Amino acid sequence: MKLRILITAGPTREFIDPVRFISNPSTGFFGYQIASEAVRRGHKVTLISGPTHLAPPRGARFIPVTSALEMKREVERFFPKCDCLIMSAAVSDYRPIRARSRKIKKKKSRFTLKLKRNPDILSIIAKKKENRVIIGFALESDDLKENARRKLERKNLDCIIAASINKRKPPFGDRKIRVLIMPRAGKAETVFSSKKNLSRIILDKAAKTKYAYSGSKI
């Protein structure tokens, strides 16, 4: 069975003024690896990506975005047409209440920046889940298993891929990482592997879950 897979990747940028923004260290590498592997398997792939330095995988439909609100808009646009959403993007939780149209000058020794919450894309989209497969990601500094389980249940996911923040070996870019793979149905497992191999594992789980929803046999 060939699937229509929607993948998000990379960070978002929330602009303070024309030259400054809030973001995070995500490189988008993991999401791009998943997209490349999905294309290789013959799936129809749409990749929605925040700003990265990576070349989009050949064969994937590529939708570039910058902010969390732009990513939300595109996910909502393509989600009804997909069989599976893999939400690997590192979406900023907050954005400035007001982005300045001109560069903020250094006039004071202190500067107060007021922020507001960005929409939780996964929570919003999961309300329209039906028989689609949704896989989420989590990056935690403590209580990895418990926080991952809460996110899995709260956001109505089929599976969550959770990693711990390690200052000496941050989980960004092209490197092996240790992740906790926690499906809604089945046993959680810890895997230490390259992101290329993890991409295969994630897509296998997505296909298996979709087969189960459709009542087909693998």
Active site residues: 24
Strands (DSSP E) contained in 50-93 are: 61-64, 84-87
From residue 57, alpha-carbon distances to 35, 87, 200, 216 in Å are 7, 17, 16, 29
Cα–Cα dist 201/112, whole Å:
44
Cα–Cα dist 59/25, whole Å:
27
Ramachandran angles phi, psi of 104, nearest 5°: -75, 125
Cβ proximity of 36 and 114 under 8 Å: no
Reading the block at residue 91, the tokens are 């979406």
Reading the block at residue 77, the tokens are 């646009």
Beta-bridge partners for 15: 21
Rounded (10°) angle between helices 195-214 and 29-40? 60
